[in-house]
Chain A
Amino acid sequence: MKKLLALGLSVTMAVSLAACGGDAGKETGGADSGANNNASEPQNTEAAAGNEAADNSAAAGESTAITLWTYPIGNWGDSATVDSIIASFNEAHPEISVTVEYLDYTNGDDQVNTAIEGGQAPDIVMEGPERLVANWGAKGLMVDLSDLFDTTAGGEIYENVAAACKSTDGAYYEYPLCMVAHCMAINKNVFEAADAMQYIDEETHTWTTENFFKAVQAVYDSGVENVGAVYCSGQGGDQGTRALINNLYGGTFTNPEHTAYTADSPENIKALEELYAQDGINFDASIAGGDEITLFRNGTLAMAFCWNAAQQVNADNSAAGTTNNGDTILPMLFPSDDGKAELCGGIWGFGIFNNGDDAKIAAAKTFIDFVCNDETQAKESVKASTYFSVRPTMTGIYDGMEIADTMDEFATYFLPSMGDYYQVVPGWATARTEWWNMLQRIGTGGAPADEVQVFVTNANQAVSEAQ
């Protein structure tokens, strides 16, 4: 019996070792070919070689298996929605199979980074330029997607959106699908009860900085202790706090060339000082953007700095556009001293990791081309995101749907205010971390002037290290 067991174990071990050996060989080959691709060949040649490889596979009747990892961008985090998109893709391209993994914003980056280090990066990843271009692209891990921009659909993409997908080395590391302008929101019922709606232009969703502070004070004086929260426990939703602070007195986050951080301007310092001194505004190091939305929806906070169209049409806990107890949610542009807010944009699309397999790269490009450019599918793909198309020619996405009016309102009043997409500055990952750490220090009594200086010094150091 003992002999039999020992023999069984030996065979098992031998088989598993042999299997490991086989995989290792494959990986080495892949890595080598990746290195060759990366040497100094022009990307077009690489793409052409890739297409040729895919064609050869198709001709030989072989299928190419690719992996797609997606962050929860609207319903792109919902398996039923993504499965239907893949089913449509497979009708057109049965030779390519797509396996999906769903990431979240808490651990998603760690999962991708671990996969990269383990040589198991996905073929396609869906996210925004701050990760695809400024982070993984800048580290030389992504495939140049310039050829996709050369298509008819690619040529229609908004110029500023295409620019955000372009790296400083001239390569495009993201092919964009959808976008949104992040905004803020108020609880209209609470504001009405506090007689604070007089400070708001309800039709255009705008307010001045002066009126913002008056409104917050009025709501606070009406007995609402927690009007708004400058959340800073982590990077989740940090575009809201950046936009709030930059807009109040016209400060900037980076220079126009996106080569240096400029958040230490007097305008930003003044904004931080006034926010800190304002009754009803808490610098809260125990919550991030997602927590803030929960607190806003359950009526604890009277305003949210982390908002967008997808939040407005979300009907998970109550009717769209209302809080959990039925109060009306009014989306607002961030307050600014000249009344012209610049909203932080969100752009989402696809990037391809260079795993050194030309056939997979070609298959991944085919998938992206279908999802983003196919006449019928592209609208469905954008609809799945609950955001807006990056192409002005693609209209009427939400026609006939219940949310059509809300989406039109966002397209009319919010999208045109989308500001500079500065999230592609080198060293962005470090700068993001420095930002919420800075807010935490200010929240615990640090002088804004000193703390923004620390932020800018550390963030700019990350820029120079990344270049």
Chain B
Amino acid sequence: MAKSANVTDRSRALVIRETRSAYLFLLPSLIFFVGFVIIPMVLCVYTSFFDSTMGKDAKDVFIGFSNYAELWRDPIFIRSLKNTIIIVVVSVPTVCVFSLWVASVVYNLKGPVLSTFRCIFYLPVVTGSVAVAVVWKWMFNNYYGIFNYVGKSIGILDKNINWLGDERFALGCIILILFTTSVGQPIVLYISALGNVDTTLVEAAEVDGANKMQLFWKIKWPLIMPTTLYILVITTINSFQCFALIQLLTSGGPNHSTDTVMYYIYYSAFKLYRYGYANSMGVILAIFIAVLSAVQFKLAKEK
């Protein structure tokens, strides 16, 4: 009996020691997570209820939900929200469909060829966004950009188009650039997912007479659904948070036609010094992303 109690005490001590070690290993990450994610999040929500600006004598004034109420009366915010939604609605499906198509074409290619394709599609992801933006800015240049040059050379364009300086084209250009920088990761993920589909299931279906379409939609598609869900969520979040391209290429212009909520947050906080107002936008953006992600999870689960 005494021996058994002794063993229990020792195993409990071992568990405590293991747990303590585990927490100690977690501690560095936890401190960064709390310091750079949790605390800023709490401060963001807190400040959104204040009229907060820069200045030595400027005091934060509690204004309740006034910042949130003002958002829906602010035409620039509404336009930013619309632009953001357009980017998400266009970008997410096209990225998913295109990357699935490319992955399904290349995933069963031989090693070096497959690696080459992976590199090509992944290159824009690992290239710095500033470098990407500079190259695209040059290609879209109003005066000597390659698109105008080629367009005029082959007779599609009568005169130069100011791609990034014209309201009709600027947002489309941003979506196109975002598309090229977004497809790399989903393609690599889809290639892995398709490569991991159980071949016995595929062979069994083939033996049963399934054609290629049936094979894909009935066998492979359900098996790669977790990857699809991950890609949907990540692409949605990235599209909602589109900022660097806007800042580097258009600064939200012309006439706010490329403003996104993320850029307007930056603009309100750093150009207009309206910290409380900018934070209220951040909260709304977070809610939008959370709701959409939840919906995507739910729909994927039902499937």
Binding site for B on A (CB under 8 A): 2-3, 5-6, 9-10, 12-13, 38, 109-110, 113-114, 116-117, 139-141, 226, 232-234, 282, 284-287, 295, 300-301, 354, 429-430, 433, 436-437, 440-441, 443-444, 446
Contacts and interface: CB of A to CB of B under 8 A. Distances in A.
B57 interface: yes
Interface string B238-259: 0000000000001101111000
B135 to A, nearest CB: 15
A444 B169 CA distance: 12
Given A226-B143, A444-B167, 9 more contacts: A6-B24, A113-B54, A114-B270, A117-B54, A284-B162, A300-B143, A301-B143, A430-B271, A437-B255
Given A13-B27, A295-B143, A285 B165 contact: yes
13 contacts: A2-B21, A12-B28, A113-B273, A114-B270, A140-B55, A141-B56, A233-B250, A286-B164, A286-B250, A295-B143, A430-B272, A437-B255, A444-B167
B25 interface: yes
Contacts of B21: 2-3, 6
B105 interface: no
A13 B29 CA distance: 11
A9 B24 contact: yes
B54 A116 contact: yes
Contact of B58 (A139, A295, A436): A139
Interface string B129-164: 000000000001111100000000000000000111
Contacts of B254: 232-233, 285-286, 440, 443-444
Contacts of A354: 56
Nearest to A284: B165
A286 B272 contact: no
Nearest to B145: A286
B142 A286 contact: yes
Contacts of B14: none
B67 to A, nearest CB: 15
A113 B270 contact: yes
Nearest to B275: A117
Contact of B270 (A110, A284, A436, A444): A110
Given A9-B24, A13-B27, A285-B255, A139 B55 contact: yes
Most A CB contacts (10 A, CB to CB) among B163, B165, B256, B272 go to B165
A140 B270 contact: no
A38 B56 CA distance: 9
A46 to B, nearest CB: 14
Contacts of A117: 54
A185 to B, nearest CB: 18
Contacts of B28: 9, 12-13
Contacts of B255: 285, 437, 440-441, 444, 446
B31 interface: yes
Contacts of B58: 139
Interface string B162-189: 1111110000000000000000000000
Contacts of A12: 28
B55 A433 contact: no
A466 to B, nearest CB: 10
B25 A139 contact: no
A3 B22 CA distance: 11
A12 B31 CA distance: 13
Shortest beta-carbon contacts, A-B, top 8: A286-B165, A285-B254, A140-B56, A139-B55, A285-B165, A286-B164, A440-B254, A6-B24
Contacts of A437: 253, 255-256
B162 A286 contact: yes
A299 to B, nearest CB: 10
Contact of B272 (A2, A9, A226, A433): A433
Contacts of A5: 25
Contacts of A13: 27-28, 31
Nearest to B18: A2
A285 B253 CA distance: 7
Contacts of A110: 270
A10 B162 contact: no
Nearest to A432: B271
A429 B267 CA distance: 12
Contact of B24 (A10, A140, A436, A446): A10
A140 B27 contact: no
Contacts of B55: 139-141
Contacts of B57: 140
A226 B159 CA distance: 12
A182 to B, nearest CB: 22
A233 B253 contact: yes
Contacts of B144: 300
Contacts of B167: 444
Contacts of A233: 165, 250-251, 253-254
B250 A284 contact: no
B177 to A, nearest CB: 14
A8 B111 CA distance: 43
B247 to A, nearest CB: 9
Contacts of B31: 13
A433 B165 CA distance: 17
A440 B143 contact: no
Nearest to A5: B25
A287 B27 CA distance: 48
Most A CB contacts (10 A, CB to CB) among B27, B166, B251, B271 go to B251
B226 to A, nearest CB: 33
Contact of B56 (A113, A139, A282, A430): A139
Nearest to A295: B143
A287 B24 contact: no
A268 B250 CA distance: 26
Contacts of B270: 109-110, 113-114
Contact of A139 (B20, B54, B163): B54
Most B CB contacts (10 A, CB to CB) among A234, A430, A444 go to A444
Nearest to B54: A139
Nearest to A13: B27
A441 B273 CA distance: 23
A157 B31 CA distance: 53
Contacts of A441: 255
A258 to B, nearest CB: 20
Contacts of A300: 143-144
Contacts of B165: 233, 284-287, 443
A38 B58 CA distance: 13
B79 to A, nearest CB: 12
